[in-house]
Amino acid sequence: MKKKLFIYLAFIGLIGLLSSCKKEETRVIALSSPNAPTLVTLPDLTLQRANGADTIIFIGTPVDPGFAASATYFLEACPTGNNFATSILLYSGIQDAQIKLSISDLNGMLLKGFPADSISSVDFRIRSVLSVDAGTGAIGTSTQPLSYSSGAVTAQVTVYGLPKLDLINSGIVQKIESALGDGSYTGYVKLDATKPFTLKDPDANIVYGANGAALAVNGTGISTGTTGSGWYILSANTKTLSYSLTQYMIGLIGDATPNGWNSPDQKMDYNYKTGLWYITLNLTVGSVKVRSNDAWGSINLGLGDATHPQYTLTNLWNNGSSQNIPIAAAGNYTVMVSIGSTTYSITITKNN
């Protein structure tokens, strides 16, 4: 009888333990009205080239959804009244209270959407994207993120035009610019190995070319040499009379692309006005990633994993552990990639 009673009591205890575990399981409970982030203070946005190296600060408050979650914040700008239908991404990252940008960086980004040397009415907002539990496909994961935005804050903004050097005889109209107006110019350029080019300062009416590995007034044509045709980062300094060419090709790779995981990658072009790399191509069901120069080097863009759910399509992870970006259906796609100094994003649009 005692043995039976002991077994019975043990069974009751086990049921109680299981019941207790079920009641104490962690659950995500959202607020009925989540508190969106706010954009509290804007800096003086009369931007001047002489202050290009200075830092300005946008001050905000964090999102409060009522549960523990990773949050990525985006500072965005658009023409007043546009309601962010088309916007310029100024910042993405984990910082919410103080978003710091250099004046030259902010000016360069705003030039993509607003005229130089004039006053524009601009709306700003902070948008937050939450990720709760990556890998499940549920609401709040990297595939279905929760997004909350502040109200728009309007400001009068003056952006300054940049000194430039025009590429002459490169085959297309293109230029490199000086963010600080200090004689140092840089930019993405598309070069043809068969077309040596020179650089013209349209303000001073001076033409620069090559003198061996140096830059010289009225020098010879600059060539890509044995590195061939494609996209490059071209830097030139008209004060030290120096220049450099660094091959820089952004490509799409993956089993959804024509070459699979083999090089050469599907090379993208660059849009000076939007600051985006882009390509239109046919993709199959599978996945893709973004990298540079047909190699897993400085650029290796993909999604986050279970422990890094903050990395989504709007905030790609530049890391060797980044996950592939899925392509769910075969068809013709336009892919656009934004590559900032520390932030990256991708837009994949199915055309048919």
Report pLDDT for 233. Answer: 97
- Domain membership of residue 33 (yes or no) is no
Bridge partners of residue 185, in order along the sequence: 236
- Domain membership of residue 21 (yes or no) is no
- Let me know whether 87 and 142 are in one domain: yes
- Domain membership of residue 25 (yes or no) is no
79 phi/psi in degrees, rounded to 5: -60, 140
- CATH number, position 150: 2.60.40.10
Our CA angle for 330, 332, 338, nearest 5°, is: 110
- Let me know whether 208 and 276 are in one domain: no
On the 0-12 / 13-18 / 19+ scale of CB atoms within 10 A, 301 is: buried
- Let me know whether 48 and 145 are in one domain: yes
Number of domains making up the chain: 3
Among the residues of 80-214, which ranges form H helices? Answer: 103-110
305: which 2 tokens?
């994993």
Stretch (H or E) spanning 27: none
Report pLDDT for 72. Answer: 86
- Let me know whether 50 and 149 are in one domain: yes
Report pLDDT for 32. Answer: 55
* Enclosing domain of residue 74: 38-159
- Let me know whether 292 and 323 are in one domain: yes
Last residue of a domain, which of 127, 142, 159?
A: 159
Closest CA to 253 of 219, 222, 294: 294
- Domain membership of residue 216 (yes or no) is yes
Peptide bond into 264 cis (omega under 30): yes
Stretch (H or E) spanning 15: helix 2-23
- Let me know whether 49 and 142 are in one domain: yes
- Let me know whether 212 and 129 are in one domain: no
- Let me know whether 137 and 179 are in one domain: no
- Let me know whether 222 and 266 are in one domain: no
- CATH number, position 269: 2.60.40.3620
- Let me know whether 215 and 139 are in one domain: no
Dihedral angle of Cα 165, 168, 173, 178, to the nearest 10 degrees: -10
Stretch (H or E) spanning 312: none
Stretch (H or E) spanning 49: none
Q: What is the pLDDT along the chain (352 residues), one digit of tens a residue?
A: 444 444 343 333 433 433 444 444 444 445 556 799 999 999 999 999 989 999 999 999 999 888 777 788 999 999 999 999 989 989 988 877 899 999 999 999 999 899 999 999 999 999 998 866 544 444 455 555 688 999 999 999 999 999 999 999 999 999 999 999 999 999 999 999 999 999 999 999 999 999 999 999 999 999 998 889 999 999 999 999 999 999 999 999 999 999 999 999 999 999 988 889 999 999 999 999 999 999 998 999 999 998 888 898 988 999 999 999 999 999 999 999 999 877 899 999 999 9
Cα–Cα distance, 211 to 222 (Å, whole number):
9
Last residue of a domain, which of 217, 247, 277?
A: 247
Coil/strand/helix, residue 257: coil
Cα–Cα distance, 28 to 146 (Å, whole number):
13
- Let me know whether 105 and 154 are in one domain: yes
pTM for the full predicted model: 0.76
94 phi/psi in degrees, rounded to 5: -90, -10
Last residue of a domain, which of 247, 276, 303?
A: 247
- Let me know whether 233 and 328 are in one domain: no
Whether 198 contacts 223, CB under 8 Å: no
Classify residue 29 by its DSSP letter. -
Report pLDDT for 1. Answer: 43
